[in-house]
Amino acid sequence: MGKVKYIIVLFAGFLISVYAHKGIAQDLHFSQFMHAPMLTNPANAGFIPEADYRVGGMYRSQWTALNVPFSTAHFFADFQLLRNRLENGWIGVGVSAFRDVAGKGQLRNNQQYVTVAYHQMLGFSSLLSGGFNMGYTTKSIDITRFIFDNQWNGKFFDAAIPNGETTFQTGNISYADLQAGLNYAYFPSEKAYLNFGVSAHHLNQANESFLATNNRIPIRWLGFANGSFKWNDWWILNPNAYYSNQAGAYELVFGMNATHNLLGDGSFLITGGAYYRWGDAAIAMLGFEKNNFKFTATYDATISLLRPFNQTRGAWEFSLIKNGFYGKTNQKLLRQSMCPSF
């Protein structure tokens, strides 16, 4: 237990060092970033310490108290391949789809990705992973929903008057997208597990603009850290941190959740936790797990300057993930040895 507590202290130090680089950002994101593995880092494809495959879905509804709410949906599935044929390693493959609708103009963002990763054991207590994904993005916007200054008739805005805008070239755009990432996991015992990763998104810097301009997407850098520490036969602690930076806009989320072995045999688990998005929201988490199905709900309470306008109501978010095994019980035990479990 002394070693586990020492690792927790090191992890806390990492969180404090990241916390010092504070920032504010509002981008397409999930508060449950730990449940969106391939959106966070392509090297997460097939990196499933407690299973051989996983299938999941997420939904986020944000700022419903305003007239321009945001809604986001995400689906993913990833699998381990060649686990028994490669020496101390395996291949991970995954697919993911992402849909977002935002704002008065109904800006629609649809993304689909195919991800490939390779995972190599380094000795008996660590793992190095690298991965990349390629995807295709389509975006559309309904320009007719906007009102411009040329449509003011002296008394009110009249949508029947031509808006006089000539910069809009199209209401639909599409482009290919490329991401890559690295992960490192360290599991010195059955009671402690650490995982760190970095990734670069939009590596091809595609042109993205509805206007007659050349607007290359800046590379987005992401870093994450998570841990799993078995305190005793009843509790496992999971600290998590996420940092994203793109063209000077950045986001920091960190916190911890605890999983309780409710019945004592690991058949039914409940989870509760709290997270904080720097300068934006306090996040409460509650969930449960049974029969390899994990359901988690979070609620973002706005604490930024937007709070007076949305009455602190930020976002609801839900995720449902199914973990599974291909076959034998001894394979299941081997997987679980990499991550604390009940």
Instruction: Note the pLDDT tens digit of each residue in 56-94.
Output: 999 998 876 666 678 899 999 999 999 878 888 999 999
d(CA 338, CA 189): 8
Read off the tokens for 60. Answer: 């986020």
Query: Do residues 254 and 279 make contact, with C-beta atoms less than 8 angstroms apart?
Result: no
3-class SS of residue 90: strand
pLDDT of 183-214, one tens digit each? Answer: 999 998 889 999 999 999 999 999 888 877 78
pLDDT of residue 166: 64
From 183, 232, 242, select the one nearest 47 (Cα to Cα): 183
pLDDT of residue 306: 65
Structural domains of the chain sorted by starting position, each given as residue range(s) with its CATH number in brackets: 2-336 (2.40.160.60)
Read off the tokens for 328. Answer: 């034998």
Does 24 score more than 60 pLDDT? no
Share of the chain above pLDDT 90, in %: 53
pLDDT of residue 333: 46
pLDDT of residue 41: 96
Does 25 score more than 50 pLDDT? no
3-class SS of residue 340: coil
pLDDT of 263-296, one tens digit each? Answer: 988 899 999 999 999 988 999 999 999 999 999 9
Q: How high is the mean pLDDT of the chain? A: 84
pLDDT of 110-155, one tens digit each? Answer: 999 999 999 999 988 899 999 999 999 999 888 777 777 777 877 7
Read off the tokens for 34. Answer: 């730990």
pLDDT of residue 282: 94
Segments of 203-267 assigned E as strands:
220-230, 235-246, 249-261
pLDDT of residue 17: 37
pLDDT of residue 101: 82
